Structure 1
Amino acid sequence: MATLGKIGRYDFLSEPFHCDFSKKLFMGHLGNHLLNAADFHSNDRDFGMNYLNPIHKTWVLSRLAIEMDDMPAAYEKFSVETWVESALRFFTNRNFRICSTDDSRTYGYGKSVWAMIDTETRQPLNILAIRDGEIERYIEKDKECPIEGLSRVKMGKEAKLARTIDTHYCDVDVNGHINSIKYIEHILDLFDIDHYRKFRIRRFDIAYVAESYCGDKLNFYTEERDDDTVCVRVTKTNAETVDAEVVRCMLKFEKI
């Protein structure tokens, strides 16, 4: 079988019921499309979930940054390009470009970090040991992803509790923990609709610190900056744990 190229490109549709009141794609649904593109790319090259799941291994998203100049509008077809920028023992860096299907415009870019874990022990695994380091054949260092690197979200102890929510069936993904995109949606819901009438999301950075599970309570703490930037810390509370950090996030807004 011929070796596939290092860069994958996948077409999507901005479905109207996946768009907000402005008739632009929700950030959460864009995030789902990026993760789908990553899944397609890795499966096509034999180091994806189709190979990993039967041997009790899986990919988990560790960090994600999405920076957009604009969002695809309702009914608009768009493409996601994705490629692996680097691979280390326990983490791999994957980039994204979101563009029109005819390649006439670029909507934005994304950067992500992934880890591989054992689905039974939940412990990290050596990525380079999978299929004798098959992932290294697909590393693409020359394609540009011209956004700032993934930032470490720093928050003080003065962050205010904004909301506490319960987690349910629809929050849980195929890996058995709270879905990474569900965190994004819950964080975006911290701001009312009038806020989104005045501001658009320019950049969204999120770091997944620990797993949480169905039945956990999620606590959202916010800290506002002076430059239209808001930081969010998410913690979990359950029978064994109180306020254990699971997610940190930074949103950079831009006036419309």
Structure 2
Amino acid sequence: MTAISLDGLKAVVTGGASGIGLATAELLSARGAQVAVLDLDPSSLTEPLLGFTADVSDDASVRDAVAGAAERLGGIDILVNNAGIGATGTVADNPDEQWHRVLDVNVLGIVRVSRAALPHLRNSAHAAIVNTCSIAATAGLPQRALYSASKGAVLSLTLAMAADHVREGIRVNCVNPGTVETPWVGRLLDAADDPSAERAALNARQPTGRLVTAREVAAAIAYLASPAAASTTGTALPVDGGMAGLRLRAEPAP
């Protein structure tokens, strides 16, 4: 199949200097889009990606970066709200300050960037917002109470935004990745008592038997952001190796 073309479109990707965000920015660019990356540290980015320093927990920083990106790009057609942070633990483990911080970045970060980008998206004939959500929004995962709560809010926010802006011609969707091979997951594995056993458990949790790759999530984001998905809005697309929907029987003992 011919790759979906994004020629002439202008995209902004938050948290785009590593992991899923970087894979997405690179794929959008490879398919013809002009891409601006908003990140706390965009210094590692290379051309043709445009880097802008932004902290999604600071409204003034977001507004300045979005305005700068829109000026350099000549508008905004696609917004990928990918910036986020993780957390582990039960409700007994995370202090209030950490709850405020994670929700501020993972949920309000989407609000701030979308709010700043909306005037530009309203001028686009192919406006699309894609939010990075998680399987944690729809499945009960152990030791992820705070993270799951933040991603549950992202899912609900995606649906509400889709309803609010569909008549303005702005589509809003999200992707729900499973466990992805990213720097954050790598750090979790490194901190485990037995990293090899922990990796094996994470692999086994997904029916495909392996972690999702950042490029696979990026491909889903690129589709939802493209004009090829013009009739898709208010949708959460799982990219989770079958984790959300499949219930496999245990393999019989040899």
Q: What's the TM-score, normalizing by structure 1?
A: 0.30
Higher helix share: 2
